[in-house]
Amino acid sequence: MIKQKRLAFKIPFKLEVVKYAKEHGNRAAERCFGPPPTEKMIRERRKQEDQLQKADKSKHTFRGNAAKWPQLDVAMKEWITNHRNNGFTVSTEMIIYEAKHIAVEKGIHDFTGSPSWCYRFMKRCGLAMRTKTRIAQKMPEEYESKILSFHKFVTDARKRNGFEIGQTGNMDEVLLTSDVPSNRTVDLKGAKTIAVKTSGHEKTHYTVVLSCCADGTKLSPMLIFKRKTFPKEVIPREIVVHVHEKGWMDENGMKVWVEKVWSKRPGGLLKKSALLVLDQFRAHISETTNKCFKEAKTHLAVIPGGLTSQLQPLDVSINKPFKVFMREEWNKWMAAGNHDLTPTGRMKRPTITQVCEWVKTSWHLVKEEIVVQSFRKCGISNALDANEDDILDEDSEESDVSDCEQLNFINSDSGTDEFLGFTED
C-alpha cells in the first residue's frame, strides 16, 4: 500500500477555507478546496478560527514545544504584566532572576534559568524586546593615521620611562541622571504604547568619575553633585564626593581627583612614575591640572578629538557594563516601592547615600578582566615586542550561531545609548 503523503496548509489558506465554509457549508468547501481538506478537517478548523486569526500567518500549525514548567510560565507572565502595568521596565536579566526565585518557591529544582529558556518563554507568551536604532560616532578625517600616531606616542613613552602596567591608567567622566530608565523593555507584541515609569527627576544630573589601571585595578569612583554645599549624608567607604554648582568637572575637581583618587592608587603614595590616558576636555589639560600631574610624577597621553570610542579604555569596554549595573540598581529601587513623597505628592529622588551605594555596587561588579582587555584593545598596554598587536584587530566570533544569537538577544537591552544624556538647567 502506497503511504499517503501528509499535507500542511498555511494558516491564510485555512482561514480562506473557513470563510468559504461559513458562507456555503462544510461539504461545499470540501468540494471547492479538497479533498484534502476533508469535511472533518474543515469542521475542526472552524472551531479553531479565533486561534488561527491570532496566529503567525507564516506558520502551518500550532505545533511547538510545550512549556516544561507551565506553572512557572503563568507566574512569570503575571509578574511581567504587573510590572508593565505599573510602568516599570523589564529586562531579560530581570526575567531570569525572578524566574529562578519563583522556581525555588514552587519547588522546581531542575530549573537553571538559561538564556535559551528566556528566549523560548518570551516566544511562547508573545513577548518581545522593543528597541531603537543607534547613531554611531562619526570618525574624524584621517582617523587611522591619528590612531597610529597615538599608539606610537604611548609606545615611545613606555619605552623611554619604563612605566609599570599598574601605573598606566585612564580616567573619564560619566554623566548620569537620578532617573536611569531603559528605553527598551519586555512587553506584549503589537503594543502601541510603551510607557516607562520614572520618579520624575530625569533632568537631575550628576557626574561619576571612573578611573582604572591596565593591570585591572579599579580606583575609587568620585561623584560630583550639583550643589554648593557638601552633603551631610553618610558617604560609603571607597567613594569620593565633590560638589560643583553645575554638577560637572572643572580644574578644582581635577585637583581633588588627583589628591584623593589618583595619588591613592597602589604606588601613588610612593610617587611612582605613571602614564595617564585622558580625552581633550579642557579641565584635563589646563595649566593648573598639568601642575598637579607633574607633582604626582604623571605623564599624560591625550586622545585626539573624536577618537575616544577607539582609544579610551573606559569608553571601549568598561562604561557600558557599569551603566547596565547602574540601571539594574535603579530598577530595583523603583520596583521596591514605598518611596518618600514631597508635600505636593511627587516622588522624592534617591538620596545621595543611595546613589553612592549604586555606584559602589556597580563599579565592584565590573570585572577586572574586562579592564585589562580594554587597555590592550586600545593599544595602550600591549607587549612592547609587538606580539600582542593582533588584539587590536581581533573580532570575537562564536562557533555556535544559535548560542551567539541567544546571547545577543539577552544583551539586547543593555545599550549605552539608553542613559539620558547631560542636560544643563
The per-residue pLDDT for 138 is 59
Query: What is the per-residue pLDDT across 27-53, written as a single tens digit (0 to 9) for each?
Result: 998 898 877 888 888 898 898 888 888
Pairing outcome for strands 127-129 and 186-188 = antiparallel
CATH topology of domain 143-338+348-418: Nucleotidyltransferase; domain 5 (3.30.420)
DSSP bridge pairs for 17: none
**CB-based contact 302:285 (threshold 8 Å):** yes
Can you give the residue ranges of every domain in the chain? Answer: 1-63, 70-125, 143-338+348-418
Residue 201 to residues 87, 228, 329, 348, Cα–Cα distance (Å): 15, 19, 16, 8
The per-residue pLDDT for 318 is 95
Residue 33 to residues 36, 316, 385, 419, Cα–Cα distance (Å): 7, 60, 75, 56
Query: What is the per-residue pLDDT across 50-66, written as a single tens digit (0 to 9) for each?
Result: 888 877 666 656 665 67
CATH topology of domain 1-63: Arc Repressor Mutant, subunit A (1.10.10)
SS3 (DSSP) at 215: coil
| Interatomic CA distance for residues 379 and 277, integer angstroms | 11
CATH topology of domain 70-125: Arc Repressor Mutant, subunit A (1.10.10)
The per-residue pLDDT for 2 is 53
Residue 291 to residues 169, 209, 296, Cα–Cα distance (Å): 18, 20, 9
Cell numbers representing residue 9 in the block? 496548509
**pTM reported for the whole predicted model:** 0.59
The per-residue pLDDT for 273 is 94
The per-residue pLDDT for 305 is 86
Full pLDDT tens readout for the chain, 425 residues: 455 556 677 888 888 999 999 999 999 988 988 778 888 888 988 988 888 887 766 665 666 567 889 899 999 999 888 877 766 778 888 899 899 999 999 999 899 989 889 988 888 888 887 654 344 455 666 788 899 999 999 999 999 999 999 999 999 999 888 655 555 555 566 555 544 444 444 556 899 999 999 999 999 999 999 888 998 999 999 999 999 988 889 999 999 999 999 999 999 999 899 999 999 999 999 999 999 999 999 999 999 988 998 999 999 999 999 998 988 888 788 777 666 666 766 667 788 999 999 999 999 999 999 999 999 999 998 887 665 655 555 543 333 333 334 434 434 444 433 332 222 33
The per-residue pLDDT for 240 is 96
Cell numbers representing residue 44 in the block? 475542526
User: Are the folds of 70-125 and 143-338+348-418 the same?
Assistant: no
